[in-house]
Amino acid sequence: MDRRRRRPAKELAVARLFGGFVLAGFVGVSALAALGDAPIRGMLWVAKDAPTARALGSVPTECLKSPADPALAARVEVGRAAFRTPVLLGGQAGRAGINCETCHRDGRGNPDFLFPGVSGAPGTADVTNSLFSTHRGNGVDDPKPIPDLSGPKAKLKISQAPGEKKLEPFIHGLITEEFDGPEPTPAVLDGLAAYVRALDPADCPAKPRRPLGVGLLMADARRALKAAEAEATAGDAATAVVMVASARSRLGLIDERYAAPTLAKPRAALRAADHRLAEAQDALRRRDPDAPKRLAAWLTASGPLEVELNAGQRQSLFNPARLTQAVKRRLPG
Ligand code: HEC
């Protein structure tokens, strides 16, 4: 079947979908308002008839082999956080909040991904699409299935043999050309390749999926901040800033599900915690030697924050029943 047909209307369709906020170039509270009644941004790239529990209520478990060598393990952690950072990608994708993990959920695939103008069937994406890329846009509609990066290495197209160094230039091209992102720091690029190499089908947990919730997202945020601390201490402030951005985006995924008026208090605590991370990023940027201390203090305070968030979780959109209602409201019929 020849899918290569021109689709000049795709930019228009997406401009309509995102309203003014792509133009404003800012994804925040006001941006969410501009998204109409989509309470969860991820709803924008989920196929309409996708099962809610799978598409928005849970994630696949991660098949990550943690390397025994502490230096390699640290690189994998940098990559793991970078993989979950929208600011890594530029242009439309980054502003919409898309990151590597949006398509490769927990390092796997995503059968429910459907982004107007980018996907064909659910679970596919055209990563040479002019919508995401001003470099590689080839003007043709060419969506490919999103590969499971945790599948057998022999089934993947790009060799992951460390000696061949094929993965690094491939990922570099993805970030800077296909997704119009800024030049990644050497540690981020190296980390992403190390993370992808550490995904291994032999390490897939027995349970294929787990519910998406506060605990999981806070654990991701903490891992990213530990990587940030290590990078900051080693003097790589630029990489540390990306790691903090990863943590902040995980907090954002909690925030959007805590909009119920009854959750005003835990949400305010979450936003205050996010604000402290923004300050830590500023401290990193101005090479303030106290920046690692700020991160350490945040990590200590994150325990009580998580307890407070957990207490409200049933009233949030992490509650499967409330999530289903919200999806129904968003997508009537
Ligand atoms: C919009 C969805 C999307 C996003 C975001 C995305 N990918 Fe992919 N990725 C794909 C698709 C689709 C392919 C398959 C392309 C093909 O077959 O030509 C792919 C292929 C790959 C491959 C090659 C797999 C193989 O067969 O060897 C790697 C590695 C990869 N992506 C890593 C990443 C990383 C790292 C990021 C973030 C910087 C990322 N991807 C972001 C959709 C995405």
Q: pLDDT by residue (tens digit) across 230-265?
A: 999 999 999 999 999 999 999 999 999 999 999 999
Closest CA to 89 of 115, 120, 67, 59: 115
Average pLDDT, the chain: 88
Compute the distance from residue 103 Cα to the ligand 1 centre, in Å.
8
Residue 273 CB partners (closer than 8 Å, separation 6+):
251, 298, 301, 302, 305
Gap from CA of 36 to ligand 1 centroid (Å): 29
pLDDT for position 25 = 31
Name the residue of 95, 104, 167 to mutate for ligand 1: max ligand atoms within 8 A of Cβ.
104
d(CA 167, CA 125): 19
Closest Cα to residue 133, out of 94, 191, 186?
Answer: 94
10 Å Cβ neighbour count for 62?
A: 17
Q: Which atom of ligand 1 approaches the CA of 124 most closely?
A: 12
On the CB side of 137, CA atoms within 13 Å amount to 16
Looking at residue 331, its pLDDT comes to 62
The tokens describing 263, both together, are 């959750």
Distance, CA of 206 to CA of 208 (rounded, Å): 6
CB 233 within 8 A of CB 79: no
With left for phi above 0 and alpha for psi between -120 and 50, is residue 124 left, alpha or beta?
Answer: beta
Look at residue 225 in the predicted model and tell me its pLDDT: 98
Tokens of 295: 């991160």
- Residue 178 is predicted with a pLDDT of 87
102 lines ligand 1 (CB under 6 A): yes
**Residue numbers of the chain with a pLDDT score lower than 50:** 1-35, 333
Structure tokens at 107: 């390092």
Q: Which atom of ligand 1 is nearest to the CA of 126?
A: 12
Residue 136 has what pLDDT? 60
For ligand 1, whether the C-beta of 144 sits within 6 Å is: yes
Report d(CA 292, CA 234) in Å as an integer: 10
Token couple for 309: 């968030």
Please name the residues in contact with 156: beta carbons below 8 A apart, sequence gap of 6 or more.
147, 149
What is the C-alpha separation between 244 and 82, in angstroms, rounded?
10
300, with CB counted inside 10 A (0-12, 13-18, 19+), is: exposed
Q: Which atom of ligand 1 is nearest to the CA of 89?
A: 38
User: How many angstroms separate the CA atoms of 65 and 319, rounded?
Assistant: 30
With a 6 A CB cut-off, is 171 part of the ligand 1 pocket?
yes
Would you say 243 and 224 are in contact if contact means Cβ atoms under 8 Å apart?
yes
